[in-house]
Amino acid sequence: MAFDFTDEQTAVRETARRFAREKVQPGYQAREREGKIDRALIRDMGALGLIAPELPENLGGLGLSSLTSGLIAEEIGYADLNVAYMQILSSLNGAILARHASPDLGREWITRLVAGEAVVAIALTEPRGGSDAAHLALSARRDGDRYVLRGEKSSISMADQADATIVFARTGRAEEGARGVSAFLVPMQSPGIAVTRFDDLGSRAIGRCSIFFDDVVVPATHRLADEGAGFVQVMQGFDFSRALIGLQVLGAAQASLDESWAYAHQREAFGAPIARNQGVTFPLAEGETLVAAARQLCYHTLSLRDAGKPHTAEAAMCKWLAPKTAVDVIHQCLLVHGHYGYSLDLPHQQRMRDVMGLEIGDGTAQIMKLIIAREKAGRVAVQYDKGGKK
């Protein structure tokens, strides 16, 4: 499918590109040292309409297409893929709130998200495992018109910068699996919450944390979707974020490619620019090809979403192919820069470390392939007995 962007999409992309190159890109490496995303920058993106513009207008969004949101994630990802977490998290969590929160709660938080005035994290993974996400243990006990949350979430992006977190918790019995899980919007200032940050290989401006819930009280009005339907209904939002993550990391790979072509022109060896060697240009040409192909897959997936068509398998394809492609391409770009590429002064090593996190976050390649297999072959492809055997 060829993409002929509308005038509106082209204009939004231009705005995102200008903002990204002028305001975001220069601080990419400094943000890693600071270990956070500056709130003023997030507010600036919100003021320009660059955060989750696809959310419905009646809830504070701009009502634009999912594809438009993808174009923004790609442009911000080109400049700093960590800042683009704001696009991904806000679109994912905004969609969940728009569909499953009460209108008052949804409007309050979506308005703040879109304006860049609030950061909302999402907490599914627990210490015992993330791939088998439905078998989570954190409990939510109903107590009149409130729930009491107890347990631990692990590996949660931005938990120590977030104003609230969407938390998946068990309201039913363990044997119920996915059917006994509910989702809640939990303000991070709630008494009983303790957050500890991990010491990570990359994306240090985002930070991954564990969150302890020691009898944290949440009003029943903060439950998202029906009780016990949190997993089945709310998880559908991940089809959206997976295509956006694809564009976020492909943007980063494109930045390394662009810098590598320029370097190959300028750097000389054996009396000529290194670009004269096909050993230099062919790996870059292959990188351009793979990035272009993965990008089209992401655009296609988002356009399926915009058309209201199924896109679960396509989203899973984006989520495993794009981060793997980006890591491989950025690695190759680092090598093109010779010994300079190995220095911490150049951004390629940071991009590679940052993108690697998204080979795992939001589901690994193996789990994405399981999803694709389930879509093609049916549940027989994913049914396990208690011993883990099919």
* Binding-site ranges for ligand FAD (CB under 6 A): 121-125, 129-131, 155-157, 203, 208, 357, 360-364, 366-367, 370
User: Least separation, in Å, of the C-beta of 226 and ligand FAD?
Assistant: 21
What is the maximum alpha-carbon separation in the chain?
A: 79
Q: Using CA atoms, how far apart are residues 194 and 216, in angstroms rounded to an integer? A: 10
Q: Which of 297, 307, 312, 316 is nearest to 247 (CA)?
A: 297
> From residue 250, how far is each of 70, 72, 87, 168, 329 by CA, in Å?
11, 12, 15, 29, 9
Pick the closer one to ligand FAD by CB: 136 or 280: 136
Pick the closer one to ligand FAD by CB: 195 or 304: 195
Adjacent-strand bridge partners of 129: 126
User: Least separation, in Å, of the C-beta of 316 and ligand FAD?
Assistant: 13
User: Least separation, in Å, of the C-beta of 356 and ligand FAD?
Assistant: 8
Q: Using CA atoms, how far apart are residues 313 and 358, in angstroms rounded to an integer? A: 18
8 Å CB contact between 72 and 13: yes
> From residue 322, how far is each of 66, 117, 250, 360, 379 by CA, in Å?
18, 30, 6, 12, 25
Q: Using CA atoms, how far apart are residues 292 and 290, in angstroms rounded to an integer? A: 5
User: Least separation, in Å, of the C-beta of 214 and ligand FAD?
Assistant: 19
Beta strands in 13-159 (DSSP E): 120-123, 139-143, 146-157
User: Least separation, in Å, of the C-beta of 161 and ligand FAD?
Assistant: 12
User: Least separation, in Å, of the C-beta of 88 and ligand FAD?
Assistant: 10
Pick the closer one to ligand FAD by CB: 121 or 333: 121
User: Least separation, in Å, of the C-beta of 364 and ligand FAD?
Assistant: 3
Given the DSSP bridges, would you call strands 272-273 and 164-170 parallel, antiparallel or unpaired?
unpaired
> From residue 281, how far is each of 251, 333, 343 by CA, in Å?
20, 10, 22
Pick the closer one to ligand FAD by CB: 124 or 284: 124
Pick the closer one to ligand FAD by CB: 234 or 304: 234
Q: Using CA atoms, how far apart are residues 377 and 335, in angstroms rounded to an integer? A: 41
Pick the closer one to ligand FAD by CB: 127 or 310: 127
- Residue 224's region, left for phi above 0, alpha for psi from -120 to 50, else beta, is beta
Which residue is closest to ligand FAD by CB? 130
Pick the closer one to ligand FAD by CB: 274 or 317: 317
User: Least separation, in Å, of the C-beta of 210 and ligand FAD?
Assistant: 11
Pick the closer one to ligand FAD by CB: 133 or 291: 133
Strand, helix or coil for residue 24 = helix
